[in-house]
Structure 1
Amino acid sequence: MKIGIDGRNLGSATDGIGRFVCNAIKALSALGAEVCVYAPAEINADYEIPHGIAVRTGRFQPLPARALWGQAILPAWAARDRVEVFWGPSHRLPLFLDDHIARVVTIHDLVWLHAPETMRARTLIGERLLMKPALRKADVVVADSTATATALTSAFPWLRSPVSTVAPGTAALPAPGDVSRLGPLGITRPYALFVGTLEPRKNLANLIKAYGLLPAGTRSGCDLVIVGGKGWKQTRLADQVRGGGLETSIKFTGFVDDGVLATLYANCLFLAMPSLYEGFGFPIVEAQSFGKPVLTSNTSSMPEVAGDNAVLVDPNDTAAISAAFDRLSTDAQFRNGIAVGARENAGRFTWHNHATGMLQIFEQAIRQRRKTDA
C-alpha cells in the first residue's frame, strides 16, 4: 500500500497537529507502510522523519501560496507518485485528486460549529470553506473520538461516506525529574496543573475565577500552574490574576520542553482542564500516564477520553469547578481513588494502535474507491 500524506502542519515544532502527523507517519512506517509526505515548505528540523520515507517539499511560504500548493501542486505530486490512498490528517483534502486515488480525511474537532467564538477569524474561515468539501470528497472519514464522529453525522446528515473512530496515540514523555527541578519556575508548593495553548477554548478565565473562589486554606495548600504557549485573546489573564490577588498562587510557565513537562505531570496533584470543547484532549492522557487524576469537562470528547479517572464538571459553572478543585486538592483519599486505573486508561492510546486502525481505514477506502471506479 502506498500512502500519500498531507504534511503541511509539519512546518512548526509547536503545532499540535504537526506532532500528531509526525507520530502517525513514524507508526505507519514501523508497520511497513510505504509513505510519501508532501509539504508546501521545508519540514521543521525538530521532526525526525524516518529514513526511507519519501518527502517532497516546495517553497510556498505565504498563506495564498500554500493554498495554491494544496489544490494544484500537491495533487500533481500524488498522481506522479501513484499513491493508492491519500490522507488529509487535519480537515483538508485537495478538491481535485486523480480519480484512482482513494482519499481519507481525519476530523479532530468541530470547534467552528460548537465554539466559533473561541477561534481566530482566519482559522474559522478556513474551516468553514474547506471542511465540507473534504467531507464530500472523502471515501472514508475518520474522527479522533466517538463524540466527534457522532457530532459529524448529526451536523452533516448529507454525509454519505462512512465515519470511523480511530483514537490518536500519545508519545511517551521522558523520565521525570525530582520536584526540586521545578524551583526555577517558582514552583515550590503542591500544585494542580493545566497544560495547553492559552486560548479562549481552554476556559482559563473560568478556571482562574474558580480558583479564586476556593477557601484561603485550600489555596495556601495547592497552587495552580498554567503551562502553555500564548495563543490569542488571553492577554487579560494576568490582569485577572492580579485583580484577584492570586499572583503568589497562580504560576504561568509559558511553553516548556518535554523533560520539564514530564516533571510537571509527575509531581502535580491533578490535572485541571475544564475546556469548553475538545476534539480529544491529549493532556488528559498524558497526565493519566503518570497516574494522575483529572478534573475536566462533561462535554464533547472529554468524558470518553478520561474514562473513570476524572471528576467531570460543567465548564460554564465556576462554582462546580471550584468545588471539584477543592475536593481534589484537600481529600487525598478521594484523589487517589480517582487515580486508580489512570495508567491503564492512558494505555489505550498508543501510536501503534492508531497506525493499525488507520491501515484498516486505508484498505477500506481503497476498496470503496475501486467500487466507485467500476
Structure 2
Amino acid sequence: MAKELIADFSLGLINRTGAYYICRDIIEECADLFSDVYCWRLNNSYASNDLARKISGRLMMLEYRLLGGGEIFQIKASRNADGARTVFMDPLYVLRSPLTSQDVVLCHDVGPITHSDLFDEGTVALYRGAYNKIQSAAPGIICVSRTTADAFQNIYGDAFRFIEVITLYPRPTPSSLATEKPETVTKPFLLSVGALEKRKNYDRTIAAFYEAGLSDDYELVICGPRGNSAEAVEEAVCDKPEVRLLGRVSDAELGWLYENAHAFVLPSLLEGFGVPVIEAAQQGLVCIVSEKSAQSEAINENAILVDPTDIASIAKGMRRALALSETDKQRFIDGAKNYAAQITRDRFVREWRALLTREIESPSPRPAALQTTAPVQAIYESSS
C-alpha cells in the first residue's frame, strides 16, 4: 500500500544559505510526491514571505531553546495520517516532532558535533539532542556528500533503516549577466566568498595572505553576509588595507569578481559539501581548499589542497596558485569543470525522485549498510 510523504521544511524559516535552496529544489521539483509541506507549525507559504518568515523563525527557535526535545506541545499537524512518513530537511527539526524509523532525515553535516567550537553552546546542545533522537529512532538517512556520510557513521554507526548519499550540485551561473566592478578593489586580488563564520577560517586565510608576502602586489577580497565571526574578522582587517571586506555583494559585482580574480581561496574548517568551490572553478578559477574534506570531494581534488589548520600550508598554496603555468592552471580548471558536469541539478532531482517514489511504494525496511545511488557511485569509481 502506498504511503503518504510529508516534508518538514522548517529550515526555510531561518536559513537562506545553500541548504535552503537545495531543499527548496527538492520540494518544488518533487511537489507531486508530497501530500503536505509545512514549516514548524505553519504552512509552506510562510517560508516565502520575508516578514512572516523572520517573525516565525524567531518564534520557532524560541520554542526550540525553551522546550528542546521535550514531548510537551510537539508538532503533530497533519502527520497523524495513517502510515504517513516525514522527510525532515534538516536534523534539527526532529526535536519537536514525532520520529520513527519510517521517516527520512536529510543530513547536511554533523558540524555541531564534530566541530562544536565553531558553534554557540545552545546550537550544539540542540543538535546533540536531535542526533541522539535520530540514533534512537533509526530512520532513513540521506547525506549530501560521502564526507558527511563517513562523519555521521563514525559517530552514530550504521544501524539505520538506510544511509545513502545524494551528492549536491553547483547552481548554474548566467553567463550573459552584466558585471560591475566594486569600487574599493584596486589591485590584482585573490577571492574568498562565504558568510563571515568561524568555519570559513578567515583568520588563518588573512594571516596566510601576509605570510605568503602577497600584500605588495595583491589584495585579498572577502565577500559574503555577516555570520558568527563577523566582528572578529572586521577587527582583524581594520589595520590591513590590502584586505577588502566587501560584505554581501550584488550578482553583477560577484560576476566581476569571479571574472577578474587570480585565484579562489577558502580553506574551510567545515563544509557539508562545498558548492562555492565548484562555482568558483566553473568561473575559471584555480581553487585553494582544505585537503581531505567535503570541499576536495566536491571538486574531485582538482584544486590546490592545503591543511586548513596550518597558516604556512595555506600561504604555500596561495603562492603556488599564483605561480602556476597556464597549462597547469587549465588542467585544474578543466578537471573541476568535467566533474561538475556529472553532478548536475537534473541528476540530483532524478535521484531524489527515485528515493521518494521508493519510499511511497515500498513500506519494507532496507539494509542499514551505506548505499550510494548508482550514478554517483559510478562517478566515485571512475575517479578512484
Could you say whether these structures have the same fold, taking a TM-score greater than 0.5 normalized by the shorter chain as the test? yes
Structure 2 partner of 1:170: 170
Task: Indicate conservation of the 8 Å contact 1:104/1:365, yes or no.
Answer: no
Structure 2 partner of 1:239: 235
1:350 maps to a residue whose letter is: T
Structure 2 partner of 1:90: 90
Q: Could you give the per-residue CA deviations for residues 289-320 of structure 1, whole angstroms, max 9, x where no partner exists? A: 22322100013312211213201000111111
2:219 maps to a residue whose letter is: D
What does 1:298-309 correspond to in 2, within 5 Å? 298-309=291-302
**3-state SS of paired residue (1:105):** strand
Structure 1 partner of 2:352: 358
Structure 1 partner of 2:372: none
Q: Give, in whole Å, the separation in 1 of the partners of 2:168 and 2:57.
A: 30
**3-state SS of paired residue (1:286):** helix
Task: Indicate conservation of the 8 Å contact 1:95/1:137, yes or no.
Answer: no
Q: Give, in whole Å, the separation in 1 of the partners of 2:34 and 2:270.
A: 35
Q: Give, in whole Å, the separation in 1 of the partners of 2:358 and 2:268.
A: 34
What does 1:1-374 correspond to in 2, within 5 Å? 2-12=4-14, 14-29=16-31, 32-34=32-34, 36-40=36-40, 41=42, 42-45=46-49, 61-65=59-63, 74-80=75-81, 84-91=84-91, 92-93=93-94, 97=98, 102-157=102-157, 159-175=159-175, 177=177, 181-184=180-183, 186-215=184-213, 218-243=214-239, 246-247=240-241, 249-333=242-326, 334-366=328-360, 369-370=363-364
- Structure 2: which 5+ residue stretches go unaligned? 51-55, 367-384
TM-score of the pair, normalised by structure 1: 0.82
Q: Give, in whole Å, the separation in 2 of the partners of 1:368 and 1:136.
A: 22
Report the CA distance between 1:188 and its aligned residue: 3.4
Task: Indicate conservation of the 8 Å contact 2:19/2:108, yes or no.
Answer: no
1:77 maps to a residue whose letter is: S
Identity of aligned residues (%): 21
Q: Give, in whole Å, the separation in 1 of the partners of 2:39 and 2:173.
A: 27
1:182 maps to a residue whose letter is: K
**3-state SS of paired residue (2:94):** coil
Report the CA distance between 1:358 and its aligned residue: 2.1
Q: Give, in whole Å, the separation in 2 of the partners of 1:146 and 1:303.
A: 11
Q: Could you give the per-residue CA deviations for residues 209-268 of structure 1, whole angstroms, max 9, x where no partner exists? A: 0001122xx43433211111111144232332244xx31x21111122444333322332
Q: Give, in whole Å, the separation in 2 of the partners of 1:360 and 1:241.
A: 48
Task: Indicate conservation of the 8 Å contact 1:139/1:369, yes or no.
Answer: no
In the superposition, relative to structure 1, how do residues 177 and 187 fare at CA in structure 2: closer, same or farther (>3 Å)?
farther
1:222 maps to a residue whose letter is: Y
2:26 maps to a residue whose letter is: A
Task: Indicate conservation of the 8 Å contact 1:90/1:107, yes or no.
Answer: yes
**3-state SS of paired residue (1:229):** coil
1:196 maps to a residue whose letter is: G
Structure 2 partner of 1:51: none
Report the CA distance between 1:149 and its aligned residue: 0.9
Q: Give, in whole Å, the separation in 1 of the partners of 2:35 and 2:113.
A: 33
Task: Indicate conservation of the 8 Å contact 1:176/1:263, yes or no.
Answer: no
| More moved, 230-239 vs 278-287 | 230-239
In the superposition, relative to structure 1, how do residues 257 and 125 fare at CA in structure 2: closer, same or farther (>3 Å)?
farther
Report the CA distance between 1:204 and its aligned residue: 0.6
Q: Could you give the per-residue CA deviations for residues 172-198 of structure 1, whole angstroms, max 9, x where no partner exists? A: 23336566x1233x1233322111111
Report the CA distance between 1:367 and its aligned residue: 6.3
Q: Give, in whole Å, the separation in 1 of the partners of 2:34 and 2:354.
A: 15
In the superposition, relative to structure 1, how do residues 174 and 74 fare at CA in structure 2: closer, same or farther (>3 Å)?
farther
Report the CA distance between 1:207 and its aligned residue: 0.3
Report the CA distance between 1:6 and its aligned residue: 1.1
**3-state SS of paired residue (2:215):** helix
2:16 maps to a residue whose letter is: T
TM-score of the pair, normalised by structure 2: 0.80
**3-state SS of paired residue (2:103):** strand
In the superposition, relative to structure 1, how do residues 2 and 301 fare at CA in structure 2: closer, same or farther (>3 Å)?
same
Report the CA distance between 1:76 and its aligned residue: 2.7
Report the CA distance between 1:93 and its aligned residue: 2.6
Structure 2 partner of 1:54: none
In the superposition, relative to structure 1, how do residues 253 and 134 fare at CA in structure 2: closer, same or farther (>3 Å)?
same
In the comparison of the two structures, how many residue pairs are matched? 352
CA RMSD of aligned residues (A): 3.1
Q: Could you give the per-residue CA deviations for residues 115-167 of structure 1, whole angstroms, max 9, x where no partner exists? A: 11011222111111112212433531111111111122221126333211011
Structure 2 partner of 1:55: none
| More moved, 33-42 vs 162-171 | 33-42
**3-state SS of paired residue (2:127):** helix
Report the CA distance between 1:27 and its aligned residue: 2.7
Report the CA distance between 1:354 and its aligned residue: 1.9
